[in-house]
Chains A and B, each alone.
Chain A
Amino acid sequence: MRRGRAQARLELEAALEGEADRLQAAKQAHADHPSEETRAARRAEMESLAETRSWLRALHAIGKAEREITRLASRGATADEIRPYEQQITHIRAVHGPLIDAMAQLASAPAAEAGGELPPGAAEAAPPVVRGRARFGKGGDV
């Protein structure tokens, strides 16, 4: 199982690298020959890479939360302590569920593969998305 996951992870990383290479080529093509056609091609590659990255990060976040739940459960943590991680998984699946299912089928990847324990001395920050919002004519004095 572990070997299968490692193999799947390598395949995912290779796929991401391939997408990044295609994006670089599309950006270069647009820089060399700016046109509506090359701009559209560049945008298409950006869409593709953005989608793949979203999927991988969703898997990573789910895997991380599952490992935390396992760790807490082994320590005899209370349901209240575990609940935030369960809610996090539910939220990620609610937002990315269809994408996770579709991509997992394509890649034959386990549902929550990606990521792993950090080695000693390392740290991982995972900030939430920064949200800017437009408020057209809401709440203002007219």
Chain B
Amino acid sequence: MAWTASGLMVAAHIDKWDDSQLATDLTSETDLKAAFYGSGVTPNFGTDTAYNAGTWATANESAGAGYSAGGLLVVNTTLTHATGSMKFDADNFSIPDSTIIAEGYLLYDDAHADRALGAVWFGEPFETQDGTFLVTHDSLGIFLLDLTP
């Protein structure tokens, strides 16, 4: 198995909507993080629950100069309405002076049990050698949740 797609985590959404009342705030400037992973992960969007659990174990996380385990803080978050969809977005990610390999990242809530919210696949592994690892998000945002017919 391998990493072949991006997606949102079902378990987090169930806990958001039932009486678990998962208190994730997608507009927070302090809670959300993006942890980078190489090709060794196999996401299960139906059952994966958290950073450092299952396939998202730190053993599979990217490692190397310039990158710290746990990943980057996600900042300047926005949660807006876009043509019938809920659009989540944030600033692009930048890891300067890094030497790492990553094929995608896990978006998780560092303030609420490291709950996994979604995983973004880059389509292939990218590698830096003492350079800047940039993630330029799509012009449509990081994710869109289409809630209308």
Assess the B139–A54 pair: CB atoms within 8 A. yes
Check: A129 CB closer than 8 A to any chain B CB.
yes
Pair B131/A123 contact, Cβ less than 8 Å: yes
Distance in Å: Cβ of B58 to nearest Cβ of chain A: 21
A residues apposed to B, CB below 8 Å: 20, 23-24, 27, 42-43, 46-47, 49-50, 53-55, 57-58, 60-61, 92, 95-96, 118-134, 136
**Given that A46-B27, A46-B79, A49-B76 are known contacts, is A127 also in contact with B143, CB under 8 Å in the complex?**
no
Contact in complex: A125, B144 (CB < 8 Å): no
When A23-B76, A58-B139, A60-B136 are in contact, do A123 and B127 touch as well, CB less than 8 Å? yes
Q: Is the CB of B6 within 8 A of A130?
A: yes
State which of B47-55, B108-116, B117-125 sits at the interface with chain A. Answer: B117-125
Q: Which of B7, B135, B140 has the most CB of A within 10 A?
A: B140
Give every chain A residue within 8 A of B121 (Cβ-Cβ): 127
B contact residues around A124 at 8 Å (CB): 126, 134-136
Question: Which residues of A sit under 8 angstroms from B102, Cβ to Cβ?
Answer: 125
Contact of B145 among A24, A55, A132, A136 (CB under 8 A): A132
Q: Could you tell me which B residues sit within 8 Å of A by CB distance?
A: 6-8, 27, 29, 76, 78-80, 82, 87, 89, 91, 102, 104, 118, 120-123, 126-149
* Docked-complex contact B131 and A127, CB < 8 angstroms: no
With both chains docked as a complex, state the minimum distance between the C-beta of B122 and any C-beta of chain A, in angstroms.
Answer: 4
B135 and A127 within 8 A (CB): yes
Contact B136 A132 (CB under 8 A): no
Closest beta carbon of chain B to A140's beta carbon, Å? 14
Contacting pair A121 B135 (CB below 8 A): no
Contact yes or no, B141 A129, CB < 8 A: yes
Q: Please determine whether A121 and B138 come into contact, CB atoms closer than 8 angstroms.
A: no
Of listed A43, A55, A130, residue having the most chain B CB within 10 A? A130
CB <8 Å contact, A20 and B91: yes
Given contacts A54-B139, A123-B128, contact A129 B144 (CB under 8 A): yes
